[in-house]
Each structure stands twice: as C-alpha cells, then as structure tokens.
Amino acid sequence: MAATLNLSSSAGQQSTTASLNNAINDHLLYGQAQRLLAVTCGLAFMSDAIEVTMRSFLSAVLSRTWVLSLIQTSGMMPCVFAGMLLRSLFWGVLADSFGRRPTAIASSLVIGVFGAISAIAPSFVCFCAFSICVGIGIGIGSFTIPYDILVGFST
C-alpha cells in the first residue's frame, strides 16, 4: 500500500491526492541528471582515494627498485600533499574566475596526465615532481568541487 499525501492549493479550493513517491520526485526534482551527477562525483571521490592509496603501496615497491634511503622513501607521499598545498594557493581563484566545471575538468586532466607520466617515471626525482603535479590536481578537482556541485544540483 503506497503512502498518500494530500496536497492542496493556497486557496484551499482544490485537493489532490498523490503517492508520497510521486510527491518527492516531483517536488525535489531528483531525476536522471542528479543520478548521473552522483555517479560522476562518486567516481571523482573514488579516483582521489585510489590515487593516494596506490601511491602509498608504490612507495614500498619503488624503495626496493630504486634502492632508496628511508628518508627518500618517507618523502614520496608528502610530495602529493605538497602539491595539494600548492594548489590551494591558486585553484580557488581559477574556480571563481572560470567556473567549477572547467576547473574540475582541468583538474581531472592534470591528475590523469601526471598520474600516467609518474607511472613511467625513470627516477625518484621525476616521480616526486610528477607526484607534486598530481597533488595539485587532486585536492580541488576530485575533492572540493564535486562536493560543491553535488550539493548545488541535488537540493
């Protein structure tokens, strides 16, 4: 048995009975666009988590491959966070100037391109440099902007 909701006009003259599900769907404007947006933002959150988690596992493998000292091995992950620190200086201004969507797309491109390049990095220094670039993209494009977009278009 479906729950019903009695909706009446402001004048109180007409009364319409609708199912609660129809009322929620009609009045909250939740449809295909919001579902697509939720999936897209979820993928952005997932890519951020995968990128950081993957780099933590890579540090152990790369320390043996490149015969790194403990200090060098410990410095791999902070490179990503240093990039996130650097991006906080300018990504907000770019998002305000150009909009969230172009900034999110640019950030995704930065993460994808420099993530792929860091996979073929020939040395520790190159890997750290590319990790900083990945960190620049991670913080805003796959973390902050999807939250803002999701809230803005889901309410």
pLDDT digits over 39-73, tens only?
888 888 888 788 888 888 888 899 999 999 999 99
Percent of the chain with pLDDT over 70: 76
Q: What does each of the 155 residues of the chain score in pLDDT, given as a tens digit?
A: 455 555 555 555 444 555 666 666 665 666 788 888 888 888 888 887 888 888 888 888 999 999 999 999 999 989 988 998 888 888 778 888 998 888 888 888 888 899 899 989 999 999 999 999 998 888 666 667 777 777 777 66
Q: Kindly state whether residues 135 and 69 are assigned to the same domain.
A: yes
Same domain, 3 and 55: no
Question: Smallest Cα–Cα separation from 102: which of 51, 56, 147, 140?
Answer: 140
Q: State the residue range of the domain holding 18.
A: 1-30
CB 83 within 8 A of CB 138: yes
Determine the pLDDT at residue 71. Answer: 93
Is residue 128 within 8 A of residue 58, CB to CB? The reply is no
Please state the domain count of the chain: 2
Residues 82 and 111 in one domain: yes
Residue recorded with tokens 């939250």: 147
How many CA atoms are closer than 13 Å to the CA of 120, on its beta-carbon side? Answer: 4
